[in-house]
A and B are shown apart, each in its own frame.
Chain A
Amino acid sequence: MFGYQNNVLRIDLTAQTAKQEPLNMEWAKKYIGGKGLGIRYLYEELKPNTDPLSPENKLIFMTAPLTGTVVPNSGKLAIISRSPATGTILDCSIGGHIAIEIKYAGYDAIILEGALKEPGYLYIEDDKIEFIPANDLWGKGSHETESFLLNKHGRDCKIMTIGPAGENLLPMACINSDYYRQAGRGGIGAVMGSKKLKAVVVKGSGGVKVADMEKALTRVHEILRQDTVTEDNLWAYTDGTATLVEACEAGGVLPSKNFQDATVNKSEGFNSDRMIEARKGKRGCGSCALGCGNFTKIDDAVVEGPEYETLALAGPNCGVHDLKAIVKFNQLCDDLGMDTMSAAGIISWAMEMTEKGLKDFGIRFGDVEGYLEMPEKIARKIGVGAELALGTKELSKRYGGEEFAMQVKGLEFPGYEPRGSWAMGLAYAVADRGACHMRAYPIASEVYEGTVDPYTGEGKAKLVYDGQVYNAVKFSGIICDFWALGLDTLAELLTIVTGETFTEADMEAIGERIIHLARAFNQREGFTGKDDTLPRRIFNETLKSGVAAGQRIPEEVFGKMLSEYYEIMGWQPDGTISPEKLEELAL
């Protein structure tokens, strides 16, 4: 098939050797690339119960056939491993330009195995692979590290780094690229840290062969005008995800103080209007037609972002309503290589524990000074930070407060209140990597479009299933979340690029196959339907403010939604995949 390089770079960090091997094209047809193909490789190669932080765990950088072509919004890289935060499958997505550079260096995927004995980084220039010591970089922030490597190897290199959080193996450590882009969730940066790998530098001089170049240029030109750069997608350019702040507040789903309530009429200081006032520039990833990135600067606080999740979770969910404080928090976390979502989630839990007198972590809601000290303390395990570095699930087991530890399977909540969007609650509970808004996004129908009643369990299993199928195949294409393309368009683009015929029905079948595959991985690691649940706050406590005031998700309604979801997936009533289904999937 065209679009692929038919080449995987497999690197043994322990032996410091590298070899090239053909891509498994049988799997490529079934899983395309990105998320799906990466999980298929890991499922095959990882021994069950492998410690995520051991040299035996693998770190897979996976591109897709559309990567590096003229197809818009196709510049993201999938990174796959077993999560140190949850023990589940973990696939993250990172923007910037690194995916395209890997493809231009000649690879569909890079699979990292083993671990370096001393800190180092990888330099990949087409066929040339070098293992370079990085003792001097160990302990430094991501931004300083990337600047050093760009100066050393040239500004046409693309780079992934980890910060101190990754070096210290934190379950909320991320991988950075282009300074401000992150593979954020599930501790993917800790896997890189466990391999003593500070950075990956890539320089590629090749290109990507497309099956029908004339048609690709013609159709992409039409699609860009008719389907991409349109009012339905341009919110990403005009406002970016900050546009969600005011919408979520009005919809009753902007959390307040560790999800104790919804935020109402308090977003003026950090909403999209305020972000636009403080905006200094715009940026997009390679191949992007929408350019969602916003550089925000207020005095000495500067960052690309903050995105909605950070605005919500590090904002009102920590009792903070000031954009400068949130920008500073974001900047610190990025440099330390730490996921803002989980870091803020842990801090807001610690604030509630402190205020309730259950355990004094020395931090309270709205204490901006204390909150801005926390990223450094957590990432470098200083004082109380050493405990907070454990993550909300482990902390709540140790000190109590489990009913308001806002996490699923060990991954802290995104910034959407499930009691104001019941399908979102189901989406968090059944997402393959723990509480995640990127596996299905039913809040769009329930809250933004208003086409579905948010406060009922009726029809929600199908809504979540449809969203999961759509995102699973989209993130295997790989197309950015922010282009709301139809699966018929994705199938057409894959056909033009690869030369193989794909239909919309193929896309749906591939999406569903990937959900089964991720579930099979988690099942093999011991996860069952009992893990598909939510913190008890969501079942027991009603919201007091906003349009969703009085709402909770009754546990029996949640149970019914879950059962219906298992039924749609063809899983058994306890949430397990039958041996027959596993055989059908050739797993």
Chain B
Amino acid sequence: MKVQVKLSGPLRRRFDGVATKMIELPEGAAVRDLLKQIGFPEVGYMIAVNGMRVYPAEPLKDGDKVVIFPPTTGG
């Protein structure tokens, strides 16, 4: 399956400045598998799938839109 991954803020640099990439994952993969594949730790980043916050155990499906947010302070 393929999921669309968007990196927010300074994390974009990890995709060589491109905000969004399609990432191929084995069927049945969860968010933690995606994080491992693209080099992120499981803790410390907020992950949203289709606009809703999820945790690393969340299963993914083909076509999901994933966003990874950097840690932030203030507002």
Contact of B2 with A by CB under 8 A: no
Across the interface, name the chain A residue whose C-beta is closest to B75: A308
Contact of A462 with B by CB under 8 A: no
Say yes or no: A450 contacts B53, CB within 8 Å: yes
Say yes or no: B44 contacts A251, CB within 8 Å: no
Q: Which of B13, B45, B53, B67 has the most CB of A within 10 A?
A: B53
Say yes or no: B69 contacts A246, CB within 8 Å: yes
Contact of A546 with B by CB under 8 A: yes
Say yes or no: A441 contacts B73, CB within 8 Å: yes
B1 CB to nearest A CB, Å: 21
Expressed in whole angstroms, the Cα–Cα distance for A482 and B44 within the complex equals 17
Give chain A's interface residue range (CB within 8 Å of chain B): 35 or more
Say yes or no: B51 contacts A482, CB within 8 Å: no
The A-contacting residues of B in range 51-66, CB under 8 angstroms, are 51-53, 55
Say yes or no: A238 contacts B12, CB within 8 Å: yes
Say yes or no: B74 contacts A441, CB within 8 Å: yes
| Number of chain B residues close to chain A: CB under 8 A | 25
Say yes or no: A448 contacts B8, CB within 8 Å: no
Given A235-B10, A239-B8, A448-B69 contact (CB < 8 Å): yes
Contact of B29 with A by CB under 8 A: no
B38 CB to nearest A CB, Å: 14
Say yes or no: B52 contacts A244, CB within 8 Å: no
Say yes or no: B72 contacts A250, CB within 8 Å: no
Say yes or no: B46 contacts A547, CB within 8 Å: no
Say yes or no: B46 contacts A243, CB within 8 Å: no
Contact of A451 with B by CB under 8 A: yes
Which among A415, A546, A547 is the interface contact of B75 at CB below 8 angstroms?
A: A415
Contact of A438 with B by CB under 8 A: yes
Say yes or no: B43 contacts A244, CB within 8 Å: no
Expressed in whole angstroms, the Cα–Cα distance for A241 and B74 within the complex equals 8
Expressed in whole angstroms, the Cα–Cα distance for A237 and B9 within the complex equals 8
Say yes or no: A231 contacts B10, CB within 8 Å: yes
A225 CB to nearest B CB, Å: 15
Contacts of B53 in A (CB 8 A): 250-252, 447, 450, 547
Say yes or no: A243 contacts B69, CB within 8 Å: yes
Across the interface, name the chain A residue whose C-beta is closest to B55: A450
Contact of B11 with A by CB under 8 A: yes
Contact of A217 with B by CB under 8 A: no
Say yes or no: A251 contacts B46, CB within 8 Å: yes
Say yes or no: B67 contacts A231, CB within 8 Å: no
Say yes or no: B69 contacts A241, CB within 8 Å: no
Contacts of A239 in B (CB 8 A): 8-9
Expressed in whole angstroms, the Cα–Cα distance for A108 and B46 within the complex equals 41
Contact of B70 with A by CB under 8 A: yes
Contact of A309 with B by CB under 8 A: yes
Contact of A26 with B by CB under 8 A: no
Expressed in whole angstroms, the Cα–Cα distance for A481 and B72 within the complex equals 10
Contact of B3 with A by CB under 8 A: no
Contact of B71 with A by CB under 8 A: yes
Q: Which of B44, B48, B71, B72 has the most CB of A within 10 A?
A: B72
- 22 A-B residue pairs with Cβ-Cβ distance under 8 Å, sorted by A, are A231-B10, A234-B9, A235-B9, A235-B72, A238-B10, A243-B70, A244-B72, A247-B48, A247-B69, A249-B51, A250-B48, A250-B52, A250-B53, A264-B51, A272-B9, A309-B75, A448-B72, A449-B71, A482-B73, A482-B74, A484-B71, A546-B52
Task: List residues of chain B with CB under 8 Å of any chain A CB.
Answer: 8-13, 19, 43-48, 51-53, 55, 67, 69-75
Q: Which 9 residue pairs across A and B have the least CB separation, nearest first?
A: A250-B48, A234-B10, A235-B9, A481-B74, A308-B75, A247-B69, A265-B51, A235-B70, A448-B46
Question: Apart from A231-B10, A238-B9, A264-B52, what 6 extra A-B contacts exist at CB < 8 Å?
Answer: A234-B70, A235-B9, A237-B10, A241-B74, A243-B9, A309-B75
